[in-house]
Amino acid sequence: MGLLWVFCFLLSGIAVAQKVTYQDNFEQGFNADFWFVETLDSAHNSIYVENGQMIMDVSGEATIWFKNELNSQWTMEFDRTVLMSGKFNDKLNNVDFFWQASDPHLGAVMGRQPLAASYDSLSLYYAKIGAENNTLTQFGKYQADGEHVVLLEYTDTKHLLEANKLYHFRISVQDRITQLYVNDRLFFSFTDEAPLPKGYFGFRTTKSRQSIDNFKVVQK
């Protein structure tokens, strides 16, 4: 019985490990099979991998899309830090995300100018943490007709950013319910009567230097 229990335990561990559908710890550099970058053409905009982390170092707006479309049941985790050490783009600002993004009109999600208005044709959920010079954290939905619905927002310091602090994010989509956790604390939860059934995820920011690490997705 003891050996049988150990064997079953090992099998369960293998099954759990196999649930990680996508993973990138950036130790092998920038993986173009995973990521599609949208930045403005500027000497001060760059997306690169350094010391096993993906760096968004931009003077304006930028989006990094995960190139694999996700279904209606998945959980994603990653670490993200706003880097502040007096460099050109350093600003405590805009830890933002898109998820379940799709374009019912044009089809293609990626390949746009990374300006906010360029995404008005998309259906998606969004979160922006520390927006408007770190005064606002907001969660909402784009309706694909240019309408942006704000579902929840905060202005208290507990929901804003701290410089050089590592934040562990977990985003969950389970059919009608989508949630976002920050350092194991629930920031947003929404039950959608008209849920977005599939789409793409994107990291987004506006004028800042940020690191991203330990990215993984579990998809059912």
Q: Are 196 and 190 in contact (CB under 8 A)?
A: no
Average pLDDT, the chain: 92
Higher pLDDT pick, 22 / 147: 22
How far is Cα 25 from Cα 72, in angstroms, rounded to an integer?
24
**Do 200 and 72 contact (CB within 8 A), yes or no?**
no
182 or 105, greater pLDDT: 182
Q: Structure tokens of 177?
A: 């319910």
Question: Could you tell me if 34 and 164 are in contact, meaning their C-beta atoms sit under 8 angstroms apart?
Answer: no
Q: Is the pLDDT of residue 2 over 80?
A: no
Q: Which residue type, as a one-letter code, is found at position 60?
A: G
What pLDDT, on a 0 to 100 scale, did the predictor assign at position 4? 42
User: Which sign, positive or negative, has the C-alpha torsion 42, 26, 99, 189?
Assistant: negative
Q: What is the pLDDT of residue 8?
A: 43
Token match 């990521």: residue? Answer: 35
Domain ranges of the chain: 22-219
Check residue 9 and give its pLDDT: 38
pLDDT value for 145:
85
Q: Which pLDDT value is given to residue 15?
A: 43
Q: What is the pLDDT of residue 98?
A: 98
Identify the pLDDT of residue 14. 42
Give 28-78 pLDDT, tens digit per residue.
999 999 999 999 988 899 999 999 999 999 999 999 999 999 999 999 999
The lowest-confidence range among 2-11, 116-125, 206-215 is 2-11
Backbone phi, psi, residue 83, to 5°:
-90, 130
Q: Report the first-to-last Cα separation within the chain, whole angstroms.
A: 32
Homologous superfamily (CATH) of 22-219 is Exo-inulinase; domain 1 (2.60.120.560)
- The 10s digit of each residue's pLDDT in 129-177 is 999 999 999 999 999 888 899 999 999 999 999 999 999 999 999 999 9
CA–CA separation, 1 and 6 (whole Å): 9
- C-beta of residue 123 within 8 angstroms of C-beta of residue 199: yes
